[in-house]
Amino acid sequence: MKRLLSVFIACTFISFVHSQGSIVLRDAPFIVETEKDASIQQWLDSNAFYKKLSPDQQESIYWINYVRKYPKLFHDKILIPFLEQFPEAKSAYSKSLSATLISMSPVGLLIPDEKLTTVAIEHATDLGKHGAGISHSSTSGSSFQERMNKAGYFSNVAENIYEGKRSSLEALIFLLIDTGVKNVGHRKNILSTEMKRVGLSFYPIKGRPSMFFLVQDFSGE
């Protein structure tokens, strides 16, 4: 069985909100057949920093931008096949995600950002190396706000953290469904019209074989 956990935090100036969700899925690969969108890929490839990222990071950023640009297509080509293959993921949360994706207008693409990527790498590495639980604070005690301030961000930032298998698309789907998170904060962070930039990183979790943290950091600056 695949047990997936997540926690998000959003910060607009000094107002914080955070919550955690979880879901258990059978341990099987998600099989989906879809061609990558050439316009998104070309736009990303024009970003010099994007080309320096790992394949996992590149794929994660691609799919985030795909659901932002094509919410209805993501619903039809990705979400529905996922729910058919993993019916245990069906819930009021998946229904609300369907409604959101079908009704929403496209939102702007997120620019891969070097500073946010550094923040994400540092936090994912810190949590993973220490085998820590999901937290927006570092193992040395630095809060989310302190970590962001150190990187030069003081407002309009958000962070999602996922714990599970190393799968860019499955992690995104899980964060979008947001099972157990009443205000679907992960989903809101990913689809927010206010966010302009993104940085993210996977890191293996010490003492938990085949499990990874994924940290996603967003900024509206």
- The answer to whether position 167 is within a domain reads yes
Angstrom distances, CA of residue 140 to CA of 14, 127, 146, 147: 22, 10, 12, 11
- The answer to whether position 11 is within a domain reads yes
**Average pLDDT score over the chain:** 91
- The answer to whether position 31 is within a domain reads no
Q: What is the pLDDT of residues 83-102, one digit of tens each?
A: 999 999 999 999 999 999 99
CB 63 within 8 A of CB 70: no
- The answer to whether position 43 is within a domain reads yes
- The answer to whether position 44 is within a domain reads yes
- Please give the Cα distance from 189 to 106 (Å, whole number): 15
- Please give the Cα distance from 125 to 130 (Å, whole number): 8
Tell me the pTM.
0.91
Q: What is the pLDDT of residues 35-58, one digit of tens each?
A: 999 999 999 999 999 999 999 999
| Per-residue confidence (pLDDT) for residue 167, from 0 to 100 | 94
Residue carrying the six token digits 């992960």: 186
- The answer to whether position 29 is within a domain reads no
- The answer to whether position 30 is within a domain reads no
Angstrom distances, CA of residue 1 to CA of 28, 29, 103: 8, 11, 33
CB 189 within 8 A of CB 8: yes
- The CATH number linked to 187 is 3.40.33.10
For residue 89, what are the domain limits? Answer: 2-23+36-219
| Per-residue confidence (pLDDT) for residue 18, from 0 to 100 | 44
Between residues 29 and 138, which one has the greater pLDDT? Answer: 138
Backbone angles phi, psi at 67, to 5 degrees: -70, -30
- The answer to whether position 168 is within a domain reads yes
Total count of domains within the chain: 1
The residue among 80, 87, 68 whose CA lies nearest residue 34 is 80
